Amino acid sequence: MGYILFIFCLLLPVAGMVAGAADYQGTIRLGGTGGAHGLMTQVTAAFQKKHPEVRFLFSPSLGSTGGIKAALARALDLGLSARALTAEELRQGAVAVAYGRTPMMLVTSHKGVKMNFTLEQIASLYAGDLKSYADKTPIRLILRPLADSDTDFLLGLSPQVAAAFRKAQAREGMIVAVNDQDNAMAMEKIKGAMGWITLAQVLSEKVPVTPLTIGNIMPSLETMAAGAYPYYKSFSVVTGAKPTPLAQAFIGFLTSIEAREILLQNGLLAEDKRP
């Protein structure tokens, strides 16, 4: 809608063009899932090159739920989400615009590792039956909080994986990364670390980890697009029922060809849907 309005303004006389330009002044407040932070900073930077009078204020990592709540409360103009809206959020007027999906990867920080997993072996990993790499280095699993979209993803893999994950949550001494940035830092710093992270975060934040194959399929945009690698997360921006014109303009840019190229370079396959 914002993009169409901008094109229409180009056809107006000079006075109309000045009024249209005023739509690109102000501040856009955004925040939510930390997994989208790195790539979103690149997209907002590209938007600012076209409209330098627009400012972006990023809130600290709030998680998808926090970003959605803040958007509904108008504390943010845009919530960044890595999950679908709930029925209650829809009832409150939340509107989500999906802008891409990215492979969700099981990765390790251990150098030179080549491991393949089945869902049954992933269940064994979380159950504590698979404890070390081939060189006997202990595997240090990085968990996420129960109320997290990464945990929702893991619980949805299979009933066996879900049961094993709950056992892991109950074991003493397990490492729990509170948000996506803590998760990436733990992956990088802890010897023998293993856990889940998206390709988009790995590329946009340059996280030095090694993806592992599942069912002998390497996670990539190509294998995900072909349906060979079925494990991924979808990212969306969320607004209340009446987003500001400036927020609408940015959403229009987010689904443009220019933004799609930025997303692609950062491991995100753009959705076909346009707002």
Task: Please determine, for residue 175, whether its predicted confidence score (pLDDT) is greater than 90.
Answer: yes
Measure the CA–CA gap between 79 and 29, rounded to whole angstroms: 9
Tens digits of residue pLDDT in 77-106: 999 999 999 999 999 999 999 999 999 999
Contacts of 268 (CB under 8 A, 6+ apart): 39, 99, 100, 101, 102, 200, 235
Torsion of CA 249, 255, 256, 257, to 10 degrees: 170
Predicted local confidence at residue 272, as pLDDT: 59
Contacts of 64 (CB under 8 A, 6+ apart): 32, 33, 79, 80, 81, 82, 83, 149
For the segment 200-216, the average pLDDT, to the nearest whole number, is 96
Q: Which residues partner with 26 through β-bridges?
A: 54
Task: Please determine, for residue 22, whether its predicted confidence score (pLDDT) is greater than 80.
Answer: no
The single-letter code of the amino acid at 181 is: Q
Of 80, 29, 5, nearest to 238 by C-alpha is: 80
CB 261 within 8 A of CB 100: no
Q: How many angstroms from the chain centroid is the CA of residue 66?
A: 14
- In the chain, CATH 3.40.190.10 sits at 2-101+233-265, 103-225
DSSP secondary structure string for all residues of the chain: -HHHHHHHHHTS-HHHHHHHHHTT-EEEEEEE-GGGHHHHHHHHHHHHHH-TTEEEEEPP--HHHHHHHHHHTTS-SEEEESSPPPHHHHHTT-EEEEEEEEEEEEEE-STT---EE-HHHHHHHHHTS--B-TT-PBPEEEE--SSSHHHHHHHTT-HHHHHHHHHHHHSTT-EE-SSHHHHHHHHHHSTTEEEEEEHHHHHHHT---EE-EETTB---HHHHHTTSS--EEEEEEEE-SS--HHHHHHHHHHTSHHHHHHHHHTT-BPPS---
Task: Please determine, for residue 19, whether its predicted confidence score (pLDDT) is greater than 80.
Answer: no
The answer regarding whether domain 2-101+233-265 maps to CATH 2.120.10.80 reads: no
Tens digits of residue pLDDT in 104-147: 999 999 988 889 999 999 999 999 999 999 999 999 999 999 88
Q: How many angstroms from the chain centroid is the CA of residue 165?
A: 21
Contacts of 158 (CB under 8 A, 6+ apart): 119, 123
How many residues comprise the chain? 275
The answer regarding whether domain 103-225 maps to CATH 3.40.190.10 reads: yes
CB 54 within 8 A of CB 25: yes
Q: What percent of the chain has pLDDT over 70?
A: 90
Predicted local confidence at residue 70, as pLDDT: 95
CB 160 within 8 A of CB 118: no
Owner of token pair 């229409």: 8
